[in-house]
């Protein structure tokens, strides 16, 4: 039996020889990463420096944009290095650090979307009581809840994977993934599977259940409310729903690809789709909410 800490590196086997095109891919991904960093940083600065935006909704958005920077930084620097490399290896420590970043990003993203849906629920269903229900201390508490539970869950699952006895060090992906490491284990992985399923429920299904509940209540108010209430709901919920569907689609395909044989799909397509939730979401959100910010400014909402 070989303990994972005895491996000095993992091999990322999903890369293929792109010859001179690797420089084209490198420039495309570098441009995408620069756009993601600039777009998210710009909106964070705008929200932090503009006192009229120091409202709960924009504070939650600011937390969301910080998470986009966190997740994309956990992926892109390593990905860019691997594209230019002829030997696609990553050190054991760097691999598990990437696992922590990628999985934490996904968990925080779902929690952020759940908190934002709860905020919209209060604003639409209890407009007169919104200020008293969504106080500054409650905003701080919700932002803490957005980050702390997912980070603690991922620390637990990653620590369990790090202590596994492995029979190999070849990961058939372009980045490190916890489930891919668990599949390499020679030892019993029952505890990893239990923690993994529990973590998935806590970081994915629990936030989704809250989102579904809040939107059921919002729809009920919209159907029985005035035209102005329906317009407010559409204006505030459309970007949130678009972000939710976009991220959920990317995560769903990533889970399906990790657990089922997808060799019938072209290798390039599988790589693009596996990177979707880590590359498109961090750019999608600032563009979507940036446009809404401009619209609200032009219409006098802020």
User: What is d(CA 258, CA 269) in angstroms, rounded to the nearest whole number?
Assistant: 14
Neighbours of 192 (CB within 10 A): 20
Burial of 150 per CB tally in 10 Å (0-12, 13-18, 19+): buried
- Least confident stretch, 82-96, 149-163, 248-262, 278-292: 248-262
Mean pLDDT value of segment 127-133 = 89
Q: Flag whether pLDDT at 144 surpasses 90.
A: yes
Q: What pLDDT, in 10s, does the model give residues 1-60?
A: 344 446 778 988 877 766 777 888 899 999 999 999 999 999 999 999 988 888 899 999
List, in sequence order, every beta strand (DSSP E) within 2-115: 2-3, 9-12, 89-91
Question: Percent of the chain beyond pLDDT 90?
Answer: 42
pLDDT for the residue 294: 75
Averaged pLDDT for residues 71-86:
90
Taking residues 75-91, report their average pLDDT. 88
User: Do 175 and 96 form a contact (C-beta atoms < 8 A)?
Assistant: no
Give the pLDDT confidence score for residue 150 in this predicted structure: 93
pTM of full prediction above 0.85: yes
What confidence tier does 277 reach under pLDDT thresholds 50, 70, 90?
Answer: confident
Q: In the prediction, which pLDDT does 3 show?
A: 47
Q: Which domains does the chain have, with CATH numbers?
A: 2-298 (1.20.1070.10)
Mean pLDDT of 254-283: 78
The predicted pLDDT at position 2 comes to 43
Averaged pLDDT for residues 258-283: 78
Specify the pLDDT at position 286: 92
Percentage with pLDDT > 70 across the chain: 92
Q: What is the pLDDT of residue 47?
A: 92
Answer whether residue 185 shows pLDDT above 70: yes
Cβ burial of 173 (10 Å; 0-12, 13-18, 19+) is buried
Across the chain, mean pLDDT equals 86
pLDDT in tens, 220-230: 888 776 777 77
Distances (CA, A) of 252 to 14, 15, 93, 96, 174: 19, 22, 27, 22, 18
Residue 106 near residue 277 (C-beta atoms within 8 A): yes
Say if residues 159 and 113 touch (Cβ distance below 8 Å): no
CA 276/CA 254 separation, integer angstroms: 8
How far apart, in whole angstroms, are the C-alpha atoms of residue 3 and residue 164? 6
**pLDDT at res. 200:** 86
pLDDT of residue 118: 94
Best CA proximity match to 59, nearest among 166, 144, 157? 144
Mean pLDDT of 103-117: 95
pLDDT greater than 90 at residue 256: no
C-alpha span between 6 and 3 (Å, rounded): 6
Indicate the burial class of 165 (C-beta count within 10 angstroms; 0-12, 13-18, 19 or more).
Answer: middle
C-beta of residue 43 within 8 angstroms of C-beta of residue 289: yes
| Average pLDDT of the residues in 162-180 | 86
Q: Give residue 302's pLDDT.
A: 64
Per-residue pLDDT at 207 exceeds 60: yes
Within 10 Å of residue 112's Cβ, how many Cβ atoms? Answer: 27
């Amino acid at each position: 039996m070989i303990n994972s800490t005895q491996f000095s590196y993992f091999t990322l086997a999903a890369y293929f020889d792109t010859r001179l095109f690797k420089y084209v891919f490198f420039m495309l991904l570098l441009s995408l990463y620069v756009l993601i960093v600039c777009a998210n940083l710009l909106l964070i600065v705008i929200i932090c420096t503009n006192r009229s935006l120091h409202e709960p909704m924009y504070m939650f958005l600011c937390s969301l944009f910080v998470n986009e920077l966190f997740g994309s930084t956990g992926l892109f620097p390593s990905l860019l290095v691997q594209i230019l490399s002829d030997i696609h290896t990553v050190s054991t420590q760097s691999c598990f650090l990437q696992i922590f970043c990628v999985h934490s990003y996904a968990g925080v993203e779902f929690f952020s979307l759940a908190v934002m849906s709860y905020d919209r629920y209060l604003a639409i269903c209890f407009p007169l009581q919104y200020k008293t229900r969504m106080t500054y201390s409650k905003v701080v508490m919700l932002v803490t809840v957005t980050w702390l539970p997912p980070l603690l869950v991922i620390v637990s699952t990653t620590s369990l994977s790090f202590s596994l006895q492995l029979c190999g060090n070849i990961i058939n992906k372009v980045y490190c993934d916890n489930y891919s490491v668990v599949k390499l284990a020679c030892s019993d992985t029952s505890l990893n599977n239990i923690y993994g399923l529990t973590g998935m429920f806590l970081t994915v299904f629990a936030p989704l259940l809250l989102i579904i509940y809040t939107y059921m209540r919002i729809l009920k108010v919209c159907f029985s409310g005035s035209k102005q209430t329906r317009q407010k709901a559409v204006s505030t919920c459309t970007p949130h729903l678009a972000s939710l569907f976009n991220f959920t689609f990317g995560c769903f395909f990533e889970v399906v690809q990790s657990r089922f044989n997808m060799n019938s799909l072209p290798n390039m397509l599988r790589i693009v789709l596996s990177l979707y939730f880590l590359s498109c979401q961090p750019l999608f959100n600032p563009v979507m909410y940036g446009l809404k910010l401009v619209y609200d400014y032009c219409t006098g909402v802020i």
